[in-house]
Structure 1
Amino acid sequence: MISPDLKDLFQSVESAFCVPEDTEQLSFAANLLKSVDSEKIASEIKLLSDRLEFLDCSKVFGNEDPGTVCALDVDIVFNKDHLGVEKRDPYQWKDQSLLKSEKIMKVILVHSKSLRVVETKLRVYKEYEMLFRSKTLQLQHEYEDFDEIAKKSANAKVSLFQRIIHSLLESIPSKKLANIVSKAAEHSFTQFNFRDICYNEFIIDREDVGTVYNNSYICRFFLTVRRIKRRLVRSALRKICKLLGFKICKDIMLDIEFAMGTMHMSEDQRQLRIDISDTFIETLTFEITSFLISLYDPIDSASFPAGSFFEYLFNSVDVNSSTWRRKVAEETYMMVSKHQEDIVRKLLLLVEHMCKKTTEDIKYVSRSLQKWKEKTECMDMVELVSIWEKREAMKNLSGLGSHKSVLNLIAGLKNDNQILKVFLSIDDQDAITFIKNHPEIPKETTVEFVVVKSYKEQRDQAKTKNYHIEKNVREILSKTIKNQGERIYAKHSCVVGLGIGNMDCNGQITPCIIIYCLDKDLVPFGEEPLPKTLEGFHCDIREDFIMFGACFDCHEIAHPNPGCCIGLPSNGIGSAGFLAKTNESGLETSGFLTAAHVAAENWTDLYYNKVLLSELEIDQYNYEIVHCPLLPNDNSSQIIGKVRESYCGNWGPEDIGIDAAFVQNYDQDKAAYRELQPADESELDYGDQLIVLKRGGTTGKTFGRLLDGSHSPCVNPRLDDVAWRLGGFYFFDGCFAVEDISGPFFNLGDSGSGVFLTENENPTKPLGIAFAKLDNEPITFVCRIDQVAKAFKLRLYETVETMEI
């Protein structure tokens, strides 16, 4: 994938190979450049705008052109407390000749899931640091634009051509020209050549006259003979000059070929074959012919003295006879021989001028290519790594983990100034003072602090007006988010979510992709600015923060109702969601759903391994859930069940985001129940005012407006999560987005609560599990309950006694 700007640069490369306009046709530079494959190289560079081909390493034989690229694939995997590097094909790495080759560009192509690009590339660099001493070993992540690799490939091709140009310039003869011209004149100005040309010249004088091999053509009037002779001589001079021009051009080209063959170049380049320049020949022919005709015309005017006049008047002449044509040939040859030194002198000046002009034109092309090549220069690997290490250093500030109020931080450049932006859960002056005075933070760094709003605070910001989006456009936007989501999160560490919306583009309301980010102007170290468009759609960039929910407060009962507060004994933070039943070994068991990050301590392992809890050795994970989680110095919580299934991440063939856990009740619910059918998204019309209902441990019963089913939240790890230091992130594809109506729809402690579609404010069908919310915009993210039920093989129900809300 190549950026539009780079595509334009590659498409413009032909202009850099063009010689200046030559109205006098005194240069044969274009012909020389063509002979050394200028058109081929320009074409190869232009092709880079469409595709960058990677050669199979097993098919590298060492005779490839510079700029050829081959890939060495590695996977970066999250392994508990470190990033592992795994070679996809270890055999490729055993070819030392390939690794040491300075001709072939080797690219370590990095593949990873839910990991930041910068952290993965830095990990690979440290793994193979010794190999990166080679200038032809590059590092690339699959999610990045391949601009840098394409630039380096083009740069290598142009550099090769510049070396060839330098050789060409050294090969163009200067001191040898006099000898070349003199020998060419001797070779061309012979009696045989003049006679052969005159014999074979087919003359036309109002009608076909012919050659010596045609019938006789008798002329009885001297003016006719004179006219035919003039035509014959001029034609002979023109052809002899063309022969001369061809000989000079050929000898110059042969001299260049020989000189190129003695230089330190590849076999193909030494075996150069330069086509003879038609332009060169035509220019020489025209200039010398004009000079020779200027010598002949005065002779021609005086070629018929009085005696001859009567001779031609009374004696007929056969202009096709070998006798007459031989006489004309000898006269012409004598005239040329008499002035041969002048001809050679004039010719040498002309050839020297043409070679000088050719040299100037080639130097012009060399300068043009240098200017073009400068646009393909890339940052040195050492400099890149130093930038990545700045980012790493900010994440590893000593003592940072002791300040629990620090939620996240990003370091980078804003308006060319080095910035460290710190996000706090509260106005923690101890943490602020600690960071401001931290000795490991460079003095030139400006530190900014942001206190994230409490979810319990009423938001008074204006809601974004939602304009209607056509269904087909919404589907395309949804696919774009699906295609680009993980790529964006991996490349841009400040992005916390993607969604569908509208924005004002030059006074027109246009469907767009919303990018939620921590700071729209700060570019983290090692990253590029946020994209302005994605697959042709404009991006509306909005600043926000995202978190999971948490709370402490509830009642004591053995069977929590939907919305009750539940959690792990050591960290109770969520709500009970939908009631559910499952058939396990033929025995029906009841329980409830909540969020995985609420009920399973190993939810991050589930995320990075992309497995269900049941696919692991479940006996190792005995997660008991309490109703009314522990408050400080409170031992009144009741253990009510055990986590039987959970999943956190993107599940199934469509990679739909799920954050859910099924808790089996220890005390099985024997109450009468009614099975519920999950909502079918195909029945939803987001253009309507779809009102949904949620029951949560913190906010209780709340209503919201369903906006869309294609949002993608991305939650950053906490600072005490090793994934934060290693560049991990947790994103969830294809989530519902619900907007607050009159008050908060979702607050701390509501994670895991069930969300229903409604009719007349009464619940109708289960929609999903609420698990996260933005901080600035009043939007809650809900994972799809139909996918949860399918993944966990559950049936949803409600008890008949508690059907009314």
Structure 2
Amino acid sequence: MIIGRHKFSMSITEKDIACLKELNSDSEFRKMGSMILAKHAEHVCFDKDDFRIEEGKSRSFASYIVLDMICRKCVMENVDIEEAYPALEESKGELLIICVSKQRTCLSEYKRFSTREISFDGTSTESLEAENVLDKDDENVKDLIRRYGIEVNETLSHHVLRLMERHSNLEAARVSFVRSTKTGYDYSEPCIVLYCLGKTLVPYGEDLFPVSLQHPKTYRTFKTDVREGYFTTCLNEATLRHQELAMGCSIGEKGVNACGTLGPLVEFVKNGDMGFLTVRHLFEPITKPDNHIQGTEVVQPSDGDVISPSSSSDDRICGIVVTSNVGGETDAALIRIYPDRIPQRGKFISVDEDDLNFAGFRSNHQLTFDDGATTDARTLTTEDMATRRIIKIGSATGLTKGTLSTTDGAVRERAKEMMYDYNGRRYPIIINNLLCVDSYYTKIFCQKGDSGSAVFLVEDDANNSLKCIGMVIGNIENDCAGVITPIQNILSVLQNKCGEKLRLKEFKFEKMQG
């Protein structure tokens, strides 16, 4: 086989041939071809000349494969580079190797291609600035949300998976009621925000982002707003031991420092056992098959949160993983609680009085969630300000309040570990049908350590009753929007996987006589 200036022999199995014949798109053929070639050309040093040779051939996919192999080697040879991919500069049309890193590498050229460094930690603040100038108490903004909120979310839901498939640099998508422009901000209509790491960089072989998206039935169009930002999970290290488990406390996998949050309490309907929900990405790697983490022991608090290094993790074990799922519409894990850690009611960790006041509670109010009530967030409206009464309690930031803006968003969740099977990108998992909750400027809705936090609607009644709408899986960096998996999706997926009916735990108490 000859690619560029290199000649080498390779064998291809009947299984590989059958797979190639079944492919329906150029992108699928490119991916499969790169995976097959990677096995045989690992020691071949392709460069820009090889790419130019293949680019000049009619209907040749080898040019894509050469670029994929170059990017793969770039990552493998440079420890500070987390991802690499080929892209065109929108204004100049120059083909570059984009190197994504967390610290500068000073790599200006690779295999005779110019490189461009971008950082997961160095994206712009334009999205945060845009959202902060929006006054959601303004009557014009309220009217805008009432008139177009449902329609713009339906538009996003219709297009988002196709956008994720066609644009490998699309990090997340959500709805906003302010659009950033070259001359300022436009509040006249809602828009669909598309997040990427480099606005002027277009991955080789892909199209520009669409400038507008059309509703599938009403045919109303909504403009897009391309902003720099990306999705990140909210894992961290945090806090105290709770003999009776409380929602919002720190949990983690035994022997691992990563910390998440204990989420909604659940009941196994058939036998009455109690469990809780948290995120699947707490149990790394997320690429491991879900059945391989069944039986994993969970500790509270997490190993990373223990003040005393001599503290035994065996004394902190609180349960085991029953089942889990990441991808599609969920990032969730179901934990069965051990008998000695079962709570007697739906308590939360202690929260700050100022946070209680800001969220609309009395400073002496004791938050509990005893009735297991839920509601579908997609049905919430602005008529009674329901979208403004969203709270969560997490191990990192405690009680926070936010505003529901998006009911059908999507994100690209990356594996923490590197998987360069055929190119220079990390393994991505797309999660859709997500809620997005905007932060108030006084306190960010969720941060690292809050993954798994239960999210609630606070009812407008005398008791400020809570109804669970979902669970935090992460946030959009430089935007401060929390990303939430709807509770209905979580329960549906997990009970199908474990074969047991699940519901949020309802604590029943005997009424006092007299």
Per the normalisation by structure 2, the TM-score is 0.70
CA distance in 1, matches of 2:226, 2:100: 19
Q: 1:560 aligns with which of 235, 245, 265?
A: 245
Asked whether the 8 Å contact 1:390–1:525 carries over to 2, the reply is no
Asked whether the 8 Å contact 2:75–2:83 carries over to 1, the reply is no
Q: 1:743 aligns with which of 430, 443, 446?
A: 443
Q: Indicate the RMSD between aligned Cα atoms, in angstroms.
A: 3.6
Q: Which residue of 1 aligns with 2:287?
A: 604
Q: Which residue of 2 aligns with 1:786?
A: 488
Asked whether the 8 Å contact 1:773–1:780 carries over to 2, the reply is yes
CA distance in 1, matches of 2:375, 2:212: 33
Query: After superposition, what is the alpha-carbon deviation per residue over 1:728-760, rounded to whole angstroms, capped at 9, x for unaligned?
Result: 422222211111112111111110111111147
Shift of residue 780, structure 1, vs aligned partner: 0.7
Identical amino acids, percent of aligned pairs = 20
**Distance verdict in 2 for CA 1:626–1:401, change over 3 Å:** farther
Shift of residue 702, structure 1, vs aligned partner: 1.2
CA distance in 1, matches of 2:17, 2:301: 45
Q: Does 1:385 align with 2:62?
A: yes
Asked whether the 8 Å contact 1:575–1:753 carries over to 2, the reply is yes
CA distance in 2, matches of 1:444, 1:402: 19
Asked whether the 8 Å contact 1:520–1:530 carries over to 2, the reply is no
Q: Which residue of 2 aligns with 1:629?
A: 302
Q: Which residue of 2 aligns with 1:594?
A: 278
Helix, strand or coil at the partner of 2:71: helix
More helix by share: 1
**Distance verdict in 2 for CA 1:729–1:485, change over 3 Å:** farther
Shift of residue 523, structure 1, vs aligned partner: 0.7
User: Greater relative contact order: 1 or 2 (C-alpha under 8 angstroms, separation 6 or more)?
Assistant: 2
Asked whether the 8 Å contact 1:512–1:540 carries over to 2, the reply is yes
Asked whether the 8 Å contact 1:498–1:514 carries over to 2, the reply is yes
Counterpart AA for 1:397: C
Q: 1:659 aligns with which of 304, 314, 331?
A: 331
More strand by share: 2
Count of residue pairs brought into register by the alignment: 414
**Distance verdict in 2 for CA 1:123–1:508, change over 3 Å:** closer
- Structure 2: gaps (5+ residues): 1-14, 38-54, 215-220, 347-369, 496-500, 510-514
Q: Does 1:550 align with 2:458?
A: no
Counterpart AA for 1:626: V
Asked whether the 8 Å contact 1:558–1:667 carries over to 2, the reply is no
Per the normalisation by structure 1, the TM-score is 0.46
Q: Does 1:572 align with 2:258?
A: yes
Q: 1:680 aligns with which of 376, 381, 390?
A: 376
CA distance in 1, matches of 2:34, 2:411: 31
Helix, strand or coil at the partner of 2:246: coil
**Distance verdict in 2 for CA 1:126–1:560, change over 3 Å:** same
Counting only pairs closer than 5 Å after superposition, residues 264-275 of structure 1 correspond to structure 2 as none
Counterpart AA for 2:469: L
Q: 1:477 aligns with which of 132, 149, 152?
A: 152
Q: Which residue of 1 aligns with 2:173?
A: 498
Q: Which residue of 2 aligns with 1:123?
A: 31
**Distance verdict in 2 for CA 1:537–1:388, change over 3 Å:** farther
Helix, strand or coil at the partner of 2:241: coil
- Structure 1: gaps (5+ residues): 1-83, 94-106, 111-116, 130-377, 607-612, 651-656
Asked whether the 8 Å contact 2:491–2:502 carries over to 1, the reply is yes
Q: Which residue of 1 aligns with 2:198?
A: 519
**Distance verdict in 2 for CA 1:446–1:707, change over 3 Å:** same
Shift of residue 512, structure 1, vs aligned partner: 2.6
Shift of residue 672, structure 1, vs aligned partner: 4.8
Query: After superposition, what is the alpha-carbon deviation per residue over 1:554-578, rounded to whole angstroms, capped at 9, x for unaligned?
Result: 1123443111111112243211111
Asked whether the 8 Å contact 2:378–2:407 carries over to 1, the reply is no
Shift of residue 485, structure 1, vs aligned partner: 1.9
CA distance in 2, matches of 1:709, 1:86: 42
**Distance verdict in 2 for CA 1:677–1:380, change over 3 Å:** farther
CA distance in 1, matches of 2:398, 2:18: 51
Helix, strand or coil at the partner of 2:259: strand
Q: Does 1:796 align with 2:504?
A: yes
Asked whether the 8 Å contact 1:496–1:716 carries over to 2, the reply is no
Q: 1:488 aligns with which of 163, 177, 199?
A: 163
Shift of residue 501, structure 1, vs aligned partner: 2.6
Helix, strand or coil at the partner of 2:339: coil
CA distance in 2, matches of 1:672, 1:604: 35
Counterpart AA for 1:498: A
Q: Does 1:718 align with 2:420?
A: no
Query: After superposition, what is the alpha-carbon deviation per residue over 1:310-354, rounded to whole angstroms, capped at 9, x for unaligned?
Result: xxxxxxxxxxxxxxxxxxxxxxxxxxxxxxxxxxxxxxxxxxxxx
CA distance in 2, matches of 1:402, 1:481: 37
Asked whether the 8 Å contact 1:407–1:718 carries over to 2, the reply is no
Structure whose CA Rg is larger: 1
Counterpart AA for 2:300: H
Helix, strand or coil at the partner of 1:528: coil
Q: 2:87 aligns with which of 388, 393, 412?
A: 412
